Amino acid sequence: MLLECINNDFDKIKSSLIKDIYPFYKEIDKHLFLNKKYIVYAIEFSFETFVYIIEDDKEDFLPTSFPLELFKIIDPRISKSFIYGNIEILINKKEKIVPLISFKEWANDINFYNKLSDYEIEYEKIFESYKEKIDYEFFNPNLILSKDFKLEKIEKDWVMCENCFEAWQPTQNEMLKCQKCNNIYINPYKIF
């Protein structure tokens, strides 16, 4: 799922409950940028719908939840890796289990996010693995495409990177990364 930020003003958040429970959103304009596109790594259904994205100002890859009302949905497709599960959250100092859609390790382990936010290496590796899959699955305007080289179609559904001449059979993803030189391309076999 691809979103575009349409509101980063705390005073314009409609839900008073969000304002009460999440006062750190007061500085939301430092975390989200208007018109910026964001990839969704999980969707939480509690008293509001929240999406987990990577903030612009973060150096790590820890996703943060934000109310969906701050975004416009640009591409509604969700990852093929996503399943339905649960997450444990804190609302008014009480732990609650609420529905979540994300990859299986997160959806099946109500404490996955807590362990990820504690920077437990096993959980970081799991998230990073899925992050790369999700980032390349559909068109992602945040990835920097190679402008100097092209990805050429070659026989029998193969592609070749003009930069390093690496050839491979591409995945079904809309975005591809050359495993040899790391150039990023749009999959020439996918029309979207």
The SS3 of residue 57 is coil
pLDDT tens digits, residue range 83-122? Answer: 999 988 877 778 889 999 999 999 999 999 999 999 999 9
29 and 118 in a single domain? The answer is: yes
What is the rounded CA–CA span in Å between residue 166 and residue 173?
A: 18
Average pLDDT over residues 57-75: 85
* Beta carbons within 8 Å of 27's beta carbon, 6+ residues apart: 10
Instruction: Answer whether 166's CB lies under 8 Å from 181's CB.
Output: yes
* Two structure tokens written together for 125: 């590796």
- Looking at residue 22, its pLDDT comes to 65
53 and 121 in a single domain? The answer is: yes
61 and 106 in a single domain? The answer is: yes
77 pLDDT more than 90: yes
96 and 156 in a single domain? The answer is: no
> Mean of the per-residue pLDDT values for the chain?
89
**Residue 134's closest CA among 182, 106, 107, 174?**
174
- Looking at residue 93, its pLDDT comes to 77
> What is the domain extent for residue 166?
151-186
Tell me whether residue 191 is in a domain. no
- Looking at residue 71, its pLDDT comes to 95
Confidence of residue 155 (pLDDT cuts 50, 70, 90): confident
CA torsion angle for 17, 70, 32, 7 (degrees, to 10)?
Answer: -100
124 and 156 in a single domain? The answer is: no
Tell me whether residue 142 is in a domain. no
159 and 130 in a single domain? The answer is: no
Number of domains forming the structure of the chain: 2
56 and 107 in a single domain? The answer is: yes
110 and 79 in a single domain? The answer is: yes
29 pLDDT more than 80: no
